[in-house]
Amino acid sequence: MKKILFAISLITMLAGILTGCASSTDSSQAYKGETPQQIFQYGKAALKDRNFSEAIKRFEALEVQYPYGPETEKAQFYIIYAYYMKDEYALASSAADRFIHLHPAYEHVDYAYFMRGLSDFYKNMGLLERVFAVDLSTRDLTQIRKSYYDFAELTERFPGSKYTPPAHQYMVYLRNLIAGHILDTAQFYYDRNAFVASANRANDVVAHYQGAPAVKGALELMVKSYNRLGLKKEEQDALQVLKYNYPNATITY
């Protein structure tokens, strides 16, 4: 969770270059007396003042009334941040995804990739889960996996981006969550005498999530599952790997 708070702090520091989008009024009629430049500048000022609702209304109106204007591209970019800061994570993710597809060569498109990852991570999370340390490995990890691949795409496409280091931190954190979730599933099967399934899930952790804290538990569960299946060679192989990497590990059958 500390890694998450670090990334949030990073986003807050970047507030000066960002902005947002959404509206409860008729966007086609709002701010009719203003030029597109005025709508944009006032929206940007609202964003700076943390009046995210007003900024969203203005940028939405700008996109509806002047869809091809030069300010609209910037509004589509800034709108990602406004949604995110209003805890509208689904809208922020959609706005980021849309911007990536519409403006793949934009100078700061790497930011859109980063915000998409953050928004997808928080999308299905309640307030208590965002504020307090909660074991997220017990949740459905559909959005966690999507967030991981969002960050992975950022690091692959933009290795020199200033957003790549925090994206890497998120990837480690999310990898550990996913590995823990798979291990919990393996334990579930083991407890119900489904030893083939428990061995397979545990092997998945060992094979694909090296470095995750769950690897030790996965190796132990592999040893126990193979023992219950009567697969002595596989049991000894798994035990050898366990002892090599964790010399003090003990097995309780």
Tell me the C-alpha distance between 80 and 95, whole Å.
6
What integer is the mean pLDDT of 132-146? 64
Residue in this structure with the two tokens 């807050």, named with its chain if needed: 12
How high is the pLDDT of residue 123?
Answer: 85
- Exposed/middle/buried for 253, CB within 10 Å: 0-12, 13-18, 19+? exposed
Instruction: Pick 23 or 187 by higher pLDDT.
Output: 187
Q: What is the band of 140 on the pLDDT scale with cuts at 50, 70, 90?
A: low
3 pLDDT tier (thresholds 50, 70, 90): very low
- Report the pLDDT value the prediction gives residue 252, as an integer from 0 to 100: 85
Name the residue ranges covered by the structural domains of the chain.
Answer: 135-253
Beta bridge partner(s), residue 80: 20
Q: What is the mean pLDDT of residues 133-147?
A: 68
Give the CATH number of domain 135-253. Answer: 1.25.40.10
Q: Which of 136, 111, 148, 132 is nearest to 18 (CA)?
A: 111
The token pair that represents 133 in the structure block: 């340390």
Q: What mean pLDDT value characterizes the chain? A: 86
Q: Output 199 or 137, whichever has higher pLDDT.
A: 199
pLDDT digits (tens, 9 = 90+) for 41-82: 999 999 999 999 999 999 999 999 999 888 999 999 999 999
Scored b (16 or more CB within 10 A) or e, 58-90 reads: bbbbbbebbeebebbebbbbbbbbbbbbbebbe
Residue 5 has pLDDT above 50, yes or no: no
